[in-house]
Amino acid sequence: MSNNLSHAELLKRPGNRIGFGTIATFVIAALFFVSLFAIGFTPERMLEVPGGVAEVLSFFWPADMAYGWERVLPAIIESIQIAWIGTIIAAILSLPLALFGARTLFPRLARVVKLISATARAFPEILLAIYFVPIVGLGAFAGALAIGISSVGMLTKLGAEVVDSLDFGTVEAVEAAGGSRILALRWAVLPAVLPEIIAHWLFRFELNIRASAVLGVVGAGGVGGVLLNTLRYRHFDKAAAVLILTILVVLAIDTVSGEIRRKIIRG
């Protein structure tokens, strides 16, 4: 073994050659400056930003909480209801899809299911809502359908991954004892994967609350429409009430749901 590296060479820092990282940094920096230029985000424009933000913020206080309790809270409750129904729809549809989408259980079917779930995931909820609003009418129900359909994709994917990571000893035991594939699903797969899948449902519910909050922008119910209107008419004290109540409610739901998720996973 040759050991004639000099001290200086040994101490050389490993990161000093032009590698992938350096090139990537330059490419990203170049793209970034091109983007800034393209959307007209000039230095003068940047200097205006703090002033504009400060001006709007200064009108936020005091928040019009009377409006908050009277008008905003019902809209937030509607957002929660939209998210809940959407999550229930997605949970019911995605459970069988997740089982059929597991590579280990149904190798051929899984590919079709994965394709369906990838397509469903590609649609942002709000684009789906644009179609559902004229179909089922303006309002919360269109929002719930949009949320439900777009959640199916992600829940199917996550659920199928949970099933895929399952230890197959119990499935084989059921089949060895003469049980069918369906019986194996019921007694070996479902009890093992359900806690984790339910945790994913809860997590998706947390995400759906945020998603349903913005659906009002296209007329699909919830608190988003209220915020859009208060800002449009520059009623900043009312907009502040929307923000405060949304933050409080979402924080509360996140905390409770996160706690339940942790309990379920621990068993």
Partner 1 sequence: MTMPARPQRNWPLWIGVIAFLVAMTVWSAYGIGFSLVEILCNIAGGTRLLEESWPPDFGFLPRLAEPMLETVFIAIIGTVVGGILAIPMAVLAARNLSPDKFTWFADRNFMNILRTLPDLFWAMLFATAVGFGPVAGALALTVFTVAVISKLWSESLESIDMGLPEAIRAVGGNWFQMIQFGAIPQAMQHYVSYALYAFELNIRASVVLGLVGAGGIGMILETQRANFEYERVTMIILAVLVAVLVIEEISESIRKRLT
Of the two residues 181 and 262, which places its CB atom closer to partner 1 in the complex? 262
For residues 72-101, which are near partner 1 according to CB under 8 A?
77-78, 80-82, 84-85, 88
Of the two residues 66 and 118, which places its CB atom closer to partner 1 in the complex? 118
For residues 21-60, which are near partner 1 according to CB under 8 A?
28, 31-32, 34-36, 38-41, 45, 48-49, 52-53, 55-56
In the complex, what is the shortest distance from the CB of residue 165 to partner 1, in angstroms, rounded to a whole number? Answer: 17
Identity of residue 252 = A
Q: Decide: is 19 part of the binding site for partner 1 (CB under 8 A).
A: no
Q: CB under 8 A: which stretch of 2-10, 101-109, 156-164, 207-215 binds partner 1? A: 207-215
Of the two residues 84 and 106, which places its CB atom closer to partner 1 in the complex? 84
* Count of positions on this chain that bind partner 1 (CB under 8 A): 60
Q: Decide: is 233 part of the binding site for partner 1 (CB under 8 A).
A: no
Tokens of 8: 């200086």
Q: Decide: is 116 part of the binding site for partner 1 (CB under 8 A).
A: no
Of the two residues 100 and 236, which places its CB atom closer to partner 1 in the complex? 236
